[in-house]
A and B are shown apart, each in its own frame.
Chain A
Amino acid sequence: VTAAEEFTEFAAAAAPRLRRTAFLLCGDWHSAEDLTQTALAKVFVAWRRINQPEAAHAYATRTLVHSYLAARRLRRSGEILAGELPERPAEPHQAEDRIVLLTALAKLPTKARAVVVLRYWNDLSVDQVAATLGCSPGNVKSQSARALDKLRTLLAEPDDSAEPRPGEARRHG
């Protein structure tokens, strides 16, 4: 098996999850695909230096997050800053939840958003998130606590007791 074949096999297996992580980080599927491709391209450059498949997965996630952070730092990225996410076509399932969540995530600082995605979507431990982001575990904990606090406020529904959550409503009825 050649290095190119080996890598293509890895990339095909890792791409869907990486793309979902990227989607939660940047909020749209097109940018997520670009981010995933950029991250995987960097993994290919380092391919021969990576010993085990687990290391490749961890390296790919780390590269993805760093590429995202670098892109966010790039002021001339052409992104139009807006208070709210632009309107999107209506989707039949869980659309409200998704839009509410993406709007809330977009209001978090860049690094806090990365912490939330790595902690609660990738299910990484505090130490693993710290290693991925290159910061201290204490920093991850504080970022995580602040982000959760903010999300609580942003995602709080006006009348939590009277109306079931949109996801639940659909599931039950």
Chain B
Amino acid sequence: MDEERLREMLRNATNEEPPIGSIALNALRAGIRLRRKRRIQSASTCAAAVLAIGIAVPAVIGHGHRLAGARHRHGQTVYVVGTTRTGKAVTPIAVPANQAGRPIRIADIPQAAVLSPNGKTLYVEIYQPRAALLPISTRTGKPGRPIIVGGKQPGLPWPLTDAITPNGKMIYLLNETRQFVTPVNLVTGKSGRQIRVGPNPQGLAVDPNGRTAYVLVANAGVVLPINLKTNKPEKAIHVGKYPTNIVITPDGKTAYVSRGREVVPIDTATNKAERPITVGQVQGSVSELAITPDGRTVLAFFGENAGARGQSTTLTPISTSTNRAGRTIVLSNEEHGVAFAPDSRTAYISLARSVVPLRIAADRLGKPIKIPGGLGDFGGSLVITANGKILYVLAADTAGGRHSGLVYPVRTATGTVGRPIRVGGEPSGLVIAP
């Protein structure tokens, strides 16, 4: 057989293909879910770090997790990340006035944002003209000099998840494509030496004490601890193949890692995996883990047929004191985001058309708070004020949606949905800062 003959056979083999389905739109939806998941992961790692050192930062990041020890202050700001009606910008919304301020214009569409533990700086991920973190002062609203993180190849895909240390000095960026972690000094703006971690890294979390970063290396089936003093990997912890999510308790004693239908607790003192906790039904996998601010409960969201088309349909609370799964709760729809009340008694879960409160102690869902027009494909990001009184919910559709770029304030005491704040465009997440 010659090469030409092989080419001809390959062409012929694909000649009679069945009609193509709506792959483009399905891929868009699946991509939005993937993006949302990464942002949630990024948010939870940062939240855990701040919790540990007990800084009173009333901040919720991305799809966010309310931070413990926060005290109420007037003058909080919600930042809308993504494109807005004026283009590439981050738009501040004053709390409790609920008025959109002048957008902070930036060079590229912001992909995600991380708040520094002291709440003074918002780091926005941008990729044009170079992959960078753009610091924005939350006091003045002015962007600083971008911290370039993309190496020598501007514009190349750089899928990353990040975690900031509790002292706010370092951020650890995980490059999934290139299989390494890059430490970036946020004070000097310089990147450290890259740390190779292995095939298909899927997540990263910094220990609340700021001593260790835990990297999920999916194909190797391990959690790789990196000593942040030496920036060297330590002995890998075997958890089984394809770990996807990680949360760490605020005291830093236990990390919870999901893989398939299981959640594996890891004792961070010994770096040993403990007996896995099985959640969910026969098929599917855990799509997200979230931990309450008091660290007593881990919520494991379980997706039937998870993966690119994953749909979270159930959630199982896990007690961190006993490492036992509680009653599984069926959700009416895929989970888009979660935020916790400051007292850790209630979790607010955004679904396709509503936000549903979960009374954590009772394992019981409250009355759904309907969001007019639904949350849309890009929507579902939730943040809550430091006093837990107002929840901000992002409703953002893809092209052609009825309610593109609206932020709804919701009174948590009554479940009353306030007048929407219009930002327009394609916002993708909310961040609340002091």
Interface residues of A (CB under 8 A from B): 2-5, 7-8, 11-12, 15-16, 19-20, 23-24, 29, 33-34, 36-38, 40-51, 55, 59, 70, 73-75, 91, 93-94, 97-98, 101-102, 116-117, 120-121, 123, 148, 151-152, 155-156, 167
Residues in A with CB closer than 8 Å to B309 are 37
Q: Once the chains bind, are A4 and B28 in contact (CB under 8 Å)?
A: yes
Q: Once the chains bind, are B16 and A45 in contact (CB under 8 Å)?
A: no
Bound-state CA distance A168–B51 (Å) is 72
Q: Once the chains bind, are A41 and B31 in contact (CB under 8 Å)?
A: yes
Given the known A-B contacts A42-B31, A44-B35, are A94 and B308 also in contact in the complex, defined by CB atoms under 8 Å? no
Report the nearest A residue to B397, measured CB to CB: A4
Given the known A-B contacts A11-B23, A148-B6, are A23 and B17 also in contact in the complex, defined by CB atoms under 8 Å? yes
Bound-state CA distance A147–B23 (Å) is 31
Q: Is the interface of A mostly helix, strand, loop or mixed?
A: helix
Q: Which of B10, B23, B242 contacts A37 (CB 8 A)?
A: B23
Residues in A with CB closer than 8 Å to B155 are 49-51, 55
Q: Once the chains bind, are A94 and B12 in contact (CB under 8 Å)?
A: yes
Q: Once the chains bind, are B6 and A116 in contact (CB under 8 Å)?
A: yes
Residues in A with CB closer than 8 Å to B30 are 37-38, 40-41, 44
Residues in A with CB closer than 8 Å to B6 are 116, 120, 148, 151
Report the nearest A residue to B30, measured CB to CB: A41
Bound-state CA distance A117–B353 (Å) is 44
Q: Which of A7, A19, A151 contacts B31 (CB 8 A)?
A: A7
Report the nearest A residue to B32, measured CB to CB: A44
Interface residues of B (CB under 8 A from A): 1, 3, 6-18, 20-21, 23-28, 30-35, 38, 83, 108-109, 111, 127-128, 131, 155-159, 200, 219, 241-242, 307-309, 377-378, 398-399, 425-426
Residues in A with CB closer than 8 Å to B131 are 49
Bound-state CA distance A24–B429 (Å) is 39
Residues in A with CB closer than 8 Å to B21 are 33
Q: Once the chains bind, are A70 and B219 in contact (CB under 8 Å)?
A: yes
Q: Which of A4, A33, A93, A148 contacts B23 (CB 8 A)?
A: A33
Given the known A-B contacts A23-B17, A40-B24, are A98 and B12 also in contact in the complex, defined by CB atoms under 8 Å? yes
- Chain A to chain B: the 6 pairs with minimum beta-carbon distance, closest first: A44-B31, A40-B27, A41-B30, A11-B24, A51-B155, A46-B157
Q: Once the chains bind, are A120 and B7 in contact (CB under 8 Å)?
A: yes
Residues in B with CB closer than 8 Å to A48 are 108-109, 111, 127-128
Bound-state CA distance A49–B31 (Å) is 14
Bound-state CA distance A47–B34 (Å) is 12
Q: List 27 A-B contacts (CB under 8 A).
A: A2-B398, A2-B425, A7-B28, A12-B24, A15-B20, A29-B17, A40-B31, A41-B308, A44-B31, A44-B35, A45-B31, A45-B35, A45-B159, A46-B157, A48-B111, A48-B128, A49-B155, A55-B156, A70-B200, A94-B15, A101-B12, A120-B6, A121-B10, A121-B14, A155-B1, A155-B9, A156-B1
Report the nearest A residue to B24, measured CB to CB: A11
Bound-state CA distance A97–B7 (Å) is 12
Given the known A-B contacts A19-B20, A38-B307, A51-B155, are A24 and B14 also in contact in the complex, defined by CB atoms under 8 Å? yes
Bound-state CA distance A43–B34 (Å) is 10
Residues in A with CB closer than 8 Å to B16 are 91, 93-94, 98
Given the known A-B contacts A2-B399, A49-B158, A117-B10, are A41 and B20 also in contact in the complex, defined by CB atoms under 8 Å? no
Residues in A with CB closer than 8 Å to B1 are 148, 151-152, 155-156
Report the nearest B residue to A35, measured CB to CB: B308
Q: Once the chains bind, are A43 and B426 in contact (CB under 8 Å)?
A: no
Residues in B with CB closer than 8 Å to A93 are 15-16
Q: Once the chains bind, are A2 and B18 in contact (CB under 8 Å)?
A: no
Residues in B with CB closer than 8 Å to A51 are 128, 155
Q: Which of A73, A117, A120, A167 contacts B219 (CB 8 A)?
A: A73
B30 → chain A closest CB, angstroms = 4
Q: Which of B11, B26, B38, B156 contacts A45 (CB 8 A)?
A: B38
A24 → chain B closest CB, angstroms = 6
Q: Once the chains bind, are A74 and B242 in contact (CB under 8 Å)?
A: yes
Residues in B with CB closer than 8 Å to A11 are 23-24, 27-28
Report the nearest B residue to A92, measured CB to CB: B16
Given the known A-B contacts A70-B219, A116-B6, are A3 and B426 also in contact in the complex, defined by CB atoms under 8 Å? yes
Report the nearest A residue to B12, measured CB to CB: A94
Q: Once the chains bind, are A23 and B14 in contact (CB under 8 Å)?
A: yes
Bound-state CA distance A29–B307 (Å) is 19
Q: Once the chains bind, are B34 and A41 in contact (CB under 8 Å)?
A: yes
Bound-state CA distance A43–B128 (Å) is 16
B26 → chain A closest CB, angstroms = 5
Report the nearest B residue to A60, measured CB to CB: B27
